[in-house]
Amino acid sequence: MAKQRVLTGITTTGTPHLGNYVGAIRPAIAESQRGEFDAFFFLADYHALIKSHDPAMVHQSSREIAATWLALGLDTDTTTFYRQSDVPEITELSWILTCVCAKGLMNRSHAYKAAVQANEQSGEDPDFGVTMGLFSYPILMAADILMFNAKKVPVGRDQIQHIEMARDMAQRFNHLYGDTFVLPEAVIADDVAVLSGLDGRKMSKSYGNTIPLFLPEKKLQKHINKIKTNLLEPGEAKDPADSTVFEIWQAFATPEQTAEMRQKFADGIAWGQAKKDLFELINSQLAPARERYEAILNDGEYLESELKKGAEKARAQAAIMLAKVRKAVGLAAFK
């Protein structure tokens, strides 16, 4: 039986951090190594253009994300790993979907509504700073997914609406033109940790509270030292349930190590010591991949060859789907 197709995209606006690693990258790579699924992973760099008009940032982020996934051991023979912008068929499909997608559906998109609401609150024109890219973001995302007949789409909760919109577009297209697209489903991983950041809120680029994944050792230590703690003194028992240090510990530790740390909290470990232990745990786990990362990051040749390999595989499939779609809508040769 053919393996089930799983697909997910990573928007290339930022540097991967511990939260991305624990919540998305680590489970995806582990899954790829088990080889149970036919996995498609891609750098959503067309999506990055919606969020950023800084070319150097978009470029650097793509490079860092690609190097991160490769350094962590993504198997690019059993998976398909590519850059969205290397597959121009995706933007073509995006246009065709734009022509079946109701405008009202896009009006309801959370990302767009949030932008409008922020404008209204600050007394601006509702569409101030809203590009058509932002408005139709879910259509591009639908094209990413529907192009490859992806059945399962692992995403964060904030993306569920987009997957439902992709389903809507697929259904609408299938209804108008005959059965063409598989209806995708969001997969939300409940068993992976959502990490808090330095300030105790969810670790997220938009809060500026992240710990980047492959910081040089010294800087990693400095960041870990900045994690917010309370004022309890050494010797006073500390509550693991209320501690970012413990939460991050747990995401990297074995169950035995977690039990040990829980005991140390009860025994009143000093925050400085807990952070030192945390640094050592994370550092020892990440050091080998960090070394590969640094080498890969500067090896444009290698990065390019890996991504080109993925793009070739992706385009071979995209060409078949697009030919079918073009024919279905009436774009066909005269002879």
Token output for 49: 């253009």
Q: Is 141 in the site for ligand TRP (CB under 6 A)?
A: yes
Q: Is 44 in the site for ligand TRP (CB under 6 A)?
A: yes
- Tokens 């490859």 sit at which residue? 148
Applying CB under 6 A, which of residues 5, 17, 26, 47 lies at the interface with ligand TRP?
47
Q: How many of the chain's residues bind ligand TRP (CB under 6 A)?
A: 12
Q: Minimal distance in Å, beta carbon 169 to ligand TRP?
A: 13
Q: Minimal distance in Å, beta carbon 268 to ligand TRP?
A: 41
Question: Reduced to 3 states, what is the DSSP secondary structure of residue 22?
Answer: helix
Helix axes 55-71, 300-329, angle to 10 degrees: 100
Site residues (CB under 6 A) for ligand TRP, limited to 149-178? 153, 155, 159
Cβ-closest residue to ligand TRP?
Answer: 9
Q: Minimal distance in Å, beta carbon 43 to ligand TRP?
A: 9
70 near 294, Cβ under 8 Å? no
Which of residues 80 and 159 has its CB atom nearest to ligand TRP in the complex?
159
Cite the DSSP H helix spans in the chain. 18-20, 26-34, 45-51, 55-71, 89-98, 103-107, 110-121, 132-135, 137-147, 160-177, 217-225, 244-252, 255-266, 271-297, 300-329
- Tokens 């066909």 sit at which residue? 332
Q: Minimal distance in Å, beta carbon 208 to ligand TRP?
A: 18
Contact stretch for ligand TRP (CB under 6 A) within 62-70, 123-131, 138-146, 204-212: 138-146
Q: Is 9 in the site for ligand TRP (CB under 6 A)?
A: yes
Q: Is 109 in the site for ligand TRP (CB under 6 A)?
A: no
Token output for 23: 């919540």
Per the document, the length of the chain is 335
Q: Is 144 in the site for ligand TRP (CB under 6 A)?
A: yes
Token output for 79: 């998976």
Which of residues 182 and 232 has its CB atom nearest to ligand TRP in the complex?
182
CA-wise closest residue to 275 among 247, 303, 305:
247
Residue numbers of the site for ligand TRP (CB under 6 A)?
7-9, 11, 44, 47, 141, 144-145, 153, 155, 159
